[in-house]
Amino acid sequence: MRVDGEQVEREPSPGQCLRTFLRETGHTEVKKGCDSGDCGACTVLVDGRAVHSCITPAFRAADAEVTTAGGLAPGDGLSGIQQSFVDHFGFQCGFCTPGMTVTATALAPEQRDDLPRQMRGNVCRCTGYRPIEDAIRHCGEDSEGCGGCAVRERAGEGVGASASPPAARRVVQGREPYTFDDVPARLAHLAVVGSLHAHARVTSIDASAALAVDGVLAVLTHEDVPDILFSTARHEHRTDDPDDTRVIDSVMRFVGQRVAVVVAETPAIADRASRLIAVEYEVLPAVLDPEAARSPGAPVLHPDRTAADRVADAPRNVVAATHTEVGDVEEALAASAVTATGTWRTARVTHAQLETHGSVAWVADDGRLTVRTSSQVPFLVRDELARMLGRDAATVRVFTGRVGGGFGGKQEMFTEDIAALAALATGRPVAYEMTRAEEFQRTSVRHPFRVTVRAGADAEGRLTALHVDALSDTGAYGNHAAGVLFHGCSESIAVYRAPAKRLDAEAVYTNTVPSGAFRGYGLGQVIFAIESALDELALQLDLDPFELRRLNAVRPGDGFVVAGAAEDDLVFGSYGLDECLDLARASLASPDDVPAPGGDAWSTGEGMAASMIATIPPRGHQAVASVRLGADGVARVGIGTAEFGNGTVTVHTQIVSDVLGIPRARIEVSHSDTDATRYDTGAFGSTGITVAGKALHGACVELRDALVTAGARLMGVDAGVCSLGPDGLVGPHGRTLSWGDVIAATEPAHRLGDDAWAEAHLDERVRSVAFNVQAFRVAVNRATGEVRILRSVQAADAGFVMNPEQCRGQVEGGVAQGVGSSLYEEVLIAEDGSVANAAFRQYRVPQMADVPRTEVLFASTSDDLGPYGAKSMSESPYNPVAPALANAIRRAVGARPYELPMSRDRVWRLTADS
Amino acid sequence: MDLTAVQTVRQARSRAELALAPGERFLAGGTWLFSEPQPDVTGLVDLAALGWDQVELNEDGDLRIGSMTAIGALESWARDSSLPAAPLVIDCAESLLASFKVRGSATVGGNIARSYAAGSMIALGATLDAVAQIWTASAERTMPVADLPAGNGETTLARGEALRAIVIPASALEARTASRRIALAQHGRAGALLTGRRDGDGGCTFVITAATLTPTVLRYPELPDAAVLERDARDAPGYYTDALGDADWRRQVSAVLLAEVREELA
């Protein structure tokens, strides 16, 4: 076999697929997204023909010429299509991108005319596909006509420019290292044995047959792990989550839960041996429904947990609960001119980040336990590992490479614990790379909610009362149960003024796959219900739904009231809701992007929804950022937050360039490594810019001031007439001091070795708010239930937009995930409690054809709190999508959807029943 | 994915070598076999060297499609063909969840033998009266393609039986055809695939696949009334529920879209 022009001498093993063979030979450009031929991340050319290498028998390519993304252009160069992906921001996390560029290379010209159909073998979870489509369409000679792309006009270096991600070239070539693309030698591999039962006590485990297999290094069971309770969820305060989980437990609470793990020389041996472990269970009664779970007589999942473990009411399976009221809701509803009542349900959704969870653990030469992982929160993982292992945190290092997508799913510790224990047990580096099936079976899903809303308004449309009764199914463990419940019921309710409000909310254990953090953190589920109820009020009052929001939304001067005292840490750092409402309404009126289908079966309708989000998670989010500048004019940044497609590293380089005046090519960012800086809470809650970026800005300003002061003193001029430029300090009359001279003159507090240095520590406790307004026009086929999106618009109140093309991508990606939850995606639970559709073939992650183009509009706000006036804009674009779509469907067919996803079968039934 | 239990691969180069040892399994395109764990498969018998990948018209005008023909290769053949029924080949291939990349490797025979309800080469064969030639190491038999599936993912092929080819009679190739498909996502695995054929003598064949566990073949001497076809479609047995659609919806869209197929053939 020749791979990217070089002869490979190795022989594949008999059942090996081409994907793993290529990776074994060092071709880590080939990624694993699904390992079943559905996602396309592993696409390569075999004798010029594109194939999914994961379903290609390796031996069949033995005499072939294989081309990976790394071989599409000679040497370090980019092919035309790769350059186009760079130019059009055709990736976010970038894990799907090598496969995308190879597939696009293989398209015949006529295939390019029908990309949504031809690209159905390639899944991107981040972008929403628009920039990928642009990248392919505008590639090559056609790119001369690409002036319509705003990208190039806005390109540049500093804040406010659409600066290109620093890793862009490597990403499109497949050369940017993700978690398993750079691993230590002598690596051993771990495979998990999962519970067959939804609720059972393990009575015995016989591992003798597995241990007898040649190449098996160890088998670990509940007897081999620390008897310590923790939560897989990671927060700034570990007490935000209940201690209810063991690394390996002797009680199984969901199908697929770890019973045992095998560590072996190869993944294949580990897999084979894992099937030889004999487990005996005492099967216990299981409960799969959250309403049943909190009813008398239900099996109790965690009978021994108490309030001290932060489980609110273990005998009722209730992890977290709140029941509060302000005003008198019953009285207000009775006196209302109109009321709307309904119960809405949302589905389990899988994150489907293309890079599965995984980590590699080893004891490094310095003696420290070292974990390379796919995480949004390396510092929090380090601290919990240290606690679990009874070690000082200084003896543990956790870091990530580029992370192949997160969406909240990696604000958890799902692999690091067991990989670390296995490495310590065997003395070998151990890799635990999850399969796609494991992602469905033993990570987490979006919490399914059942939300009953009762809302009342007076004849003018002013809200009189709002009652929200939310039931969240947290699955077998309480990771993120309380946080998602309270956050979900917070900004969703606080965004509206009503004299009477009541909240009844509980999160409940069931014997199902655990729920966890997911983009929007509960808001999407509750907003679906509230915004649907508000639409119902607008219909009854014959009021414009945009105006109904304007009339009732909080505005500066109002308190943020959920159903009690006003939130004391939220402020209006800026206010863009009114502008977003105007922008979205005006833009929705533009002509359809997709022509409305003809025929009697089709009806059209418009719908909208609004949402609010706090710009930072509550009760503290920390970042420490440092920047050091050498005499070579290179700035080296140390920062803790992770890059998983959110684009923060790009923005961080823009900030440094803006403050220090040096080009981005001379800025190096070391990030998401517990060695890179002292501390960082992590990349969640959309904090990469609002917290980490702000800390970095602080460090840069401090360094700039120190340099300018020193340089001015050296020149003997006033600091006010000096500034920093690419080559050093610029004084009056263009007089320039070299970096070396300025640094040498800088006072000791800002020196580190030969470099100038500054550090800033931020703990953000005051938070602002951001808004999103989504609107759709749809056509619905009443005979088949097909929903076709004719026009999609989102207006976003992002404050100052640091990088327009990246921020647009965050909004588009959020809308795409929202459309996925709204129309397609649902993790199904079988009668025995197992996941019934644990593969992309049965679980419908949106493909290119399933995601509409969305016109993204930004409000012209600037925030008092965020750096440069920026606000967070990663999670929130997801939140208003489902209700906007539901409201459009309601107005098209005259019947209201109450359940997600609004799949074609459900929508047809809705119209057939009405 | 790696098939971790597989210890041996051998090339079948003659009919005698089709005899399977315990744990052995035929390997066609491999696109399904390598897509799921196969803990019980310890050996692969590769059919690629048998030369079963020919698409040829015989002297009677019957089309013989070797079972190892890649679906993509059959599409290429159809694009170049002027036979009236050739467009149905494209429609059926496009109905698959599989991208053009997978269709370049997946085989016609593998799709039929795998017997998924949404296996659209079954729809193609059933609509065009194709007959399967089935070989073992020592015997052979024939059977209509429409009768091969025993359920969604279950085949009537016995262990050791390999699909050698399917043969479409010349008369069916001369027929006009039409098709519709729908899935819960635009290009997701089909929830219903409706195909139809109208022969020169007016006879009509309508086939429901994907929506029913096994192919539903409805035959009429002439174009049926819309109401008759709708009734027959709705009365068909075997509509099923799974992650890709509920039974009541599959029944509904089958009736609605089959009416469109009929309309196109009218």
Q: Looking at the domain assignment, is residue A532 inside a domain?
A: yes
Interchain pair B31, A909: CB under 8 A: no
Domain of A339? 291-351+445-568
In the prediction, which pLDDT does A11 show?
Answer: 94
A879 torsion bin: left (phi>0), alpha (psi -120 to 50), beta (else): alpha
Q: Looking at the domain assignment, is residue A178 inside a domain?
A: no
Tell me the shortest Cα–Cα distance from B189 to chain A, in angstroms.
Answer: 7
CATH code for the domain of A778: 3.30.365.10
Q: Which residue of B has its CA nearest to A828?
A: B243
ipTM exceeds 0.90: yes
Domain of B217? 173-265
**Considering chain A, what percentage of its residues have pLDDT values greater than 70?**
98
What amino acid is encoded at A563 in this protein? A
Interchain pair B94, A117: CB under 8 A: yes
Among A126, A143, A173, the domain boundary falls at A173
Q: How far apart are CA A190 and CA A906, in angstroms?
A: 41
> pLDDT (tens digit, 9 = 90+) per residue, A243-253?
999 999 999 99
Confidence band for A696, pLDDT divided at 50, 70 and 90: very high
Q: Looking at the domain assignment, is residue A791 inside a domain?
A: yes
Among A730, A764, A798, the domain boundary falls at A764
**Mean of pLDDT values over A405-431:** 98
Interchain pair B101, A52: CB under 8 A: yes
Tell me the shortest Cα–Cα distance from B60 to chain A, in angstroms.
Answer: 34
In the prediction, which pLDDT does A913 show?
Answer: 82
Q: Sign of dihedral through CA atoms A9, A15, A19, A20? A: negative
| Neighbour order of strands in the sheet with B192-198 | B176-182, B192-198, B204-209, B216-220
In the prediction, which pLDDT does A157 show?
Answer: 84
Are B34 and B67 part of one and the same domain? Answer: no
| Nearest in space to B119 (alpha carbons), one of B186, B189, B37, B14 | B189
Q: Does A103 touch chain B (CB under 8 A)?
A: yes
Are A75 and A208 part of one and the same domain? Answer: no
**Mean of pLDDT values over B250-265:** 98
Number of independent structural domains in chain B: 3
Q: Looking at the domain assignment, is residue A181 inside a domain?
A: no
Q: Looking at the domain assignment, is residue A662 inside a domain?
A: yes
Does residue A841 register a pLDDT over 90? yes
Are A6 and A148 part of one and the same domain? Answer: yes
Are A345 and A403 part of one and the same domain? Answer: no
Q: How far apart are CA A604 and CA A840, in angstroms?
A: 31
CATH code for the domain of A73: 1.10.150.120
Are B71 and B116 part of one and the same domain? Answer: yes
Are B135 and B199 part of one and the same domain? Answer: no
Are B43 and B54 part of one and the same domain? Answer: no
Number of independent structural domains in chain A: 5
Q: Looking at the domain assignment, is residue B212 inside a domain?
A: yes
Are A544 and A601 part of one and the same domain? Answer: no
Q: Looking at the domain assignment, is residue B200 inside a domain?
A: yes
Interchain pair B243, A37: CB under 8 A: no
Q: Looking at the domain assignment, is residue A239 inside a domain?
A: yes
Are A663 and A712 part of one and the same domain? Answer: yes
Q: How far apart are CA A417 and CA A371, in angstroms?
A: 10
Q: How far apart are CA B241 and CA B244, in angstroms?
A: 8
Confidence band for A12, pLDDT divided at 50, 70 and 90: very high
Is the CB of residue A501 less than 8 Å from the CB of residue A856? no
Q: Does B194 touch chain A (CB under 8 A)?
A: no
Are B220 and B199 part of one and the same domain? Answer: yes
Q: Looking at the domain assignment, is residue B127 inside a domain?
A: yes
Residue among A904, A906, A911 with most chain B CBs within 10 A, to mutate: A904
In the prediction, which pLDDT does A686 show?
Answer: 83
Among A419, A442, A465, the domain boundary falls at A442
How many CB atoms neighbour CB B219 within 10 A?
A: 12
Q: Does B203 touch chain A (CB under 8 A)?
A: no
Q: Looking at the domain assignment, is residue B79 inside a domain?
A: yes
Interchain pair B8, A122: CB under 8 A: no
In the prediction, which pLDDT does A140 show?
Answer: 72
Q: Looking at the domain assignment, is residue A179 inside a domain?
A: no
CATH code for the domain of A384: 3.90.1170.50
CATH code for the domain of B146: 3.30.465.10
Mean pLDDT estimate for chain A? 96
Residue by residue, DSSP assigns A217-270 as EEEE-GGGS----B-SB--SSGGGS---B-SS-SEE-STT-EEEEEEESSHHHH
Q: How far apart are CA A78 and CA A781, in angstroms?
A: 44
Kindly report which listed range (A58-72, A138-152, A207-221, B131-145) carries the lowest average pLDDT score.
A138-152
Are A346 and A369 part of one and the same domain? Answer: no
Residue A850 is given by DSSP the state G
Among B156, B171, B186, the domain boundary falls at B171
Interchain pair B248, A16: CB under 8 A: no
pTM metric for this prediction: 0.97
Q: Sign of dihedral through CA atoms A227, A232, A237, A239? A: negative
In the prediction, which pLDDT does A142 show?
Answer: 52
Are B85 and B43 part of one and the same domain? Answer: no
- What values do phi and psi take at A345, rounded to 5? -130, 140
- What values do phi and psi take at A423, rounded to 5? -65, -40
Are B221 and B123 part of one and the same domain? Answer: no
> pLDDT (tens digit, 9 = 90+) per residue, B190-216?
999 999 999 999 999 999 999 999 999
Residue among B186, B254, B257 with most chain A CBs within 10 A, to mutate: B186
Whether residue A901 has a cis bond before it, omega within 30° of 0: yes
Q: Looking at the domain assignment, is residue B2 inside a domain?
A: no
Are A802 and A909 part of one and the same domain? Answer: yes
In total, the C-beta contacts within 8 angstroms joining chain A to chain B are: 167
> pLDDT (tens digit, 9 = 90+) per residue, B209-233?
999 999 999 999 999 999 999 999 9
Does residue A783 register a pLDDT over 80? yes
Are A756 and A773 part of one and the same domain? Answer: no
**Mean of pLDDT values over A45-67:** 97
* Helix, strand counts (H, E) of chain B: 8, 14
> pLDDT (tens digit, 9 = 90+) per residue, A119-157?
999 999 999 999 999 999 988 755 555 655 655 555 678
Pairing status of strand A787-796 against strand A855-858:
parallel
> pLDDT (tens digit, 9 = 90+) per residue, A304-313?
999 999 999 9
- What values do phi and psi take at A710, rounded to 5? -65, -45
Confidence band for B11, pLDDT divided at 50, 70 and 90: very high
Tell me the shortest Cα–Cα distance from B201 to chain A, in angstroms.
Answer: 32
Q: Using CB atoms, which residue from B1, B48, B98 is nearest to A35?
A: B1
Are A381 and A530 part of one and the same domain? Answer: no
Residue among B99, B182, B193 with most chain A CBs within 10 A, to mutate: B99
Are B136 and B228 part of one and the same domain? Answer: no
Are A110 and A199 part of one and the same domain? Answer: no
In the prediction, which pLDDT does A155 show?
Answer: 66
In the prediction, which pLDDT does A914 show?
Answer: 75
Interchain pair B249, A905: CB under 8 A: yes
In the prediction, which pLDDT does A273 show?
Answer: 98
Are A834 and A776 part of one and the same domain? Answer: yes
SS3 A442: helix
Q: Looking at the domain assignment, is residue B89 inside a domain?
A: yes
Q: Looking at the domain assignment, is residue B1 inside a domain?
A: no
Give exposure, A525-542, as e/b (b: 16+ Cβ within 10 Å): bbbbbbbbbbbbbbbebe
Are A636 and A613 part of one and the same domain? Answer: no
Q: How far apart are CA B210 and CA B190, in angstroms?
A: 6
**Mean of pLDDT values over A325-348:** 98
Interchain pair A841, B6: CB under 8 A: no
